[in-house]
Amino acid sequence: MSKNTPLVFVLIAFLACNSEEKIDEKTATENVKNTPPNTMVKVDTAISAPFYLLIQSSGKVKAHKDVIMLAETSGTIQRANIKSGQKVSKGQVLVRLNPSEAQLKLQSAKINYDKAQLEFENSLIGFPKLLAQENPEEDSLYQKLKIGSGLQESSIQLKEAQIALEKTVVRAPFSGTLYDVQAFPGKNIQAGDELFAEFNHKLLVEVDLLESEALNLKEGMPAEIRNPAMDTQFLGEVFSVNPKVDENGLVKTQILLKGEQALWPGMNVEVEVRIPKGERLQVPKSSLVLRSGKPVVFSIEQDLAKWNYVEFGYDNGKMVEIRDGLEAGTVVITNNNLQLAHDAPISIQNSDN
């Protein structure tokens, strides 16, 4: 054997070691590449808090009082300083008709009444015994004399003339807002013509609910009202439930808006009524998934997903009641949980993302 043989063995051994190191590095790199990344998830916490069933529906705003004011007599409008959208107070004078004709009729009726009164008093002079009675007006003779003198008829005519004059002045029937104003000075009107309409500031929302929903409602239950055209939320409460189910299985329900709101009758709104069900353990509905037909909620333990079989109860579309399988304070996964496995590594997403 050549004297260079040991050097050859050393060189072969070195190359072998170097090759093994490269294989180990390659294997490690491939293992890293083949390791699935952690599933990014969002989390929330199971809490024990008051639970509310939610009934959601759409409806229309309407006024508690809404009237169309019609002219009660004919004539020419003398004054009408009103416009649509104007707020008015109960009893406020809104429209005046020219009172001249009504005033003349009242004067004439007053003269006829005075004449009849004088005629009646003269006729009583011929019946001293009647006048001596304590209550002569109860005697039939007294009434006959009254009719015969024309006093009774003229008294009715006088009252009618007074009422006719009063009808030339139109007042606000209640405090509210005017709309559809059609009265203006100089306009000739007939009895029955529309002058204006008014609604009061007590606004309601009328919705049609399923009978199963309406049966859960009670007067005073809180509600939230939203108008799609307005970035505002209004508060209300259940005002009335009509105890009748129509042919479509729906029940008319009214929600009263609290306070004076910037809504108009006829507006379309969305309503959400909250029905209290007491203190309940609950989680976001998105944390509940089905596995083999069974409800599961994933919790977190040392950056690993842990599934928990649960028994759930009430569901309001946002939160779900958990009756068994979790404890208050448990951190639960609320997204990317449909394909999540037990003990799968997870990373919690930044809440700002």
pLDDT category of residue 36 using cuts at 50, 70 and 90: low
The whole-number average pLDDT for the span 341-353 is 80
Percent of the chain with pLDDT over 70: 89
Tell me the three-class secondary structure of 56-88, residue by residue: EEEEEEEECCEEEEECCCCEEEEECCCCCCCEE
User: What pLDDT score was predicted for residue 10?
Assistant: 42
Q: Single out the residue in 180, 197, 214 at which a domain terminates.
A: 197
Residues 119 and 131 in one domain: yes
Tens of pLDDT, residues 123-142: 888 888 777 787 877 788 88
Residues 254 and 207: their CA atoms lie apart, in Å, by 6
Would 30 be classed as within a structural domain?
no
Residue 96 has pLDDT above 50, yes or no: yes
The whole-number average pLDDT for the span 41-55 is 93
Residues 45 and 144 in one domain: no
Residues 193 and 74 in one domain: yes
Residues 204 and 264 in one domain: yes
Give 69's strand partners. Answer: 196
Residue 105 has pLDDT above 90, yes or no: yes
82: containing domain: 67-97+169-197
Residues 158 and 181 in one domain: no
Q: Single out the residue in 218, 251, 278 at which a domain terminates.
A: 278
The whole-number average pLDDT for the span 44-58 is 93
Residues 77 and 190 in one domain: yes
Looking at residue 80, which CATH number applies to its domain?
A: 2.40.50.100
Residues 32 and 26: their CA atoms lie apart, in Å, by 10
Residues 113 and 152: their CA atoms lie apart, in Å, by 9
Whether the model clears a pTM of 0.75, i.e. scores above it, the answer is no
Would 353 be classed as within a structural domain?
no
Q: Lowest-pLDDT range, 18-32, 39-53, 63-77, 222-236?
A: 18-32
Looking at residue 309, which CATH number applies to its domain?
A: 2.40.420.20
Q: Single out the residue in 278, 305, 334 at which a domain terminates.
A: 278
Residues 264 and 161 in one domain: no
Would 322 be classed as within a structural domain?
yes
Residues 328 and 335: their CA atoms lie apart, in Å, by 19
Tens of pLDDT, residues 281-327: 999 999 999 988 899 999 999 999 999 999 999 998 899 999 999 99
Residues 177 and 74 in one domain: yes
Residue 25 has pLDDT above 70, yes or no: no
Would 183 be classed as within a structural domain?
yes
Residues 126 and 146 in one domain: yes
How many CA atoms lie less than 13 Å away from 78 in the CB half-sphere?
12
Tens of pLDDT, residues 186-242: 999 999 999 999 999 889 999 999 988 899 899 999 999 998 888 888 999 999 999
pLDDT category of residue 350 using cuts at 50, 70 and 90: low
Would 17 be classed as within a structural domain?
no
The whole-number average pLDDT for the span 144-152 is 88
User: What pLDDT score was predicted for residue 35?
Assistant: 60
Residues 183 and 80 in one domain: yes
Residues 72 and 180 in one domain: yes
Residues 145 and 125: their CA atoms lie apart, in Å, by 11
Residue 29 has pLDDT above 80, yes or no: no
User: What pLDDT score was predicted for residue 183?
Assistant: 95
Q: How many domains does the chain have?
A: 4
Tens of pLDDT, residues 256-280: 998 777 789 999 999 999 888 899 9
Would 149 be classed as within a structural domain?
yes
Would 290 be classed as within a structural domain?
yes
Residues 217 and 258 in one domain: yes
Would 18 be classed as within a structural domain?
no
Q: How many CB atoms lie within 10 A of CB 168?
A: 22
